Amino acid sequence: MGAKIPIPGVLFVNSDVINTSNLSREDFDFWYCDEHIPDVVRQSGVTHAYRYEHVLEGPSPDRKLKYLTLYNMPDLNHMETAEFATLEGQSPGPNKDRVFKNAEFDTRAYETVQVDERQAAQGKSRHFSSRLGRSKATL
């Protein structure tokens, strides 16, 4: 069996605290920004992380998860590795009761399907158009 073809893309994680009596947003933010994101970016298959906070109401008022984190991954197959399985959230860890029982995470993988090469050639940030990727780790 040969090596899998690399699938460049992003890991999309929408999250928020759902039980603020057991986990404050401040504690969640500290854990997410100062512990979890650095652990993820230390992985060999993750190059960058970008975290966003929902601030404006748009055409979808039913939103309930406040934060969005995008992890750039040169190969989404990394999500099926033993290294990825060591991340807290993929396997039990010390924050299982404190964080994972009091927060919600919507995790999806998106495969890159288009890169605006004109922008890249001009040294500007690339624009990615993506479609939902399929991975056992995100189902």
For 29, the token pair is: 């933010």
Domain contains 4:
no
In a domain, 13, yes or no: yes
Let me know if residue 98 belongs to a domain.
Answer: yes
Looking at the structure of the chain, the number of domains it has is: 1
Residue 125 gets which letter from DSSP? P
Write down the pTM of the prediction.
Answer: 0.78
Joined tokens for residue 112: 């890159």
Domain coverage including residue 90: 9-138
pLDDT tens over the chain, length 139 residues: 567 899 999 999 999 999 999 999 999 999 999 999 999 999 999 999 999 998 877 666 666 799 999 999 999 999 999 999 999 877 777 877 889 999 999 999 999 988 777 766 666 544 443 334 433 333 2
CATH number for the domain spanning 79: value is 3.30.70.100
CB within 8 A of 119, min separation 6: which ones? 125, 126, 127
Domain contains 128: yes
Cβ contacts of 12 within 8 Å, gap of 6 or more: 68, 69, 70, 106, 107, 108, 109, 110
| 9-17: strand order across its sheet | 48-53, 67-73, 9-17, 103-115, 128-132
**Is residue 1 a part of any domain in this protein?**
no
Task: Judge whether 89 lies within some domain.
Answer: yes
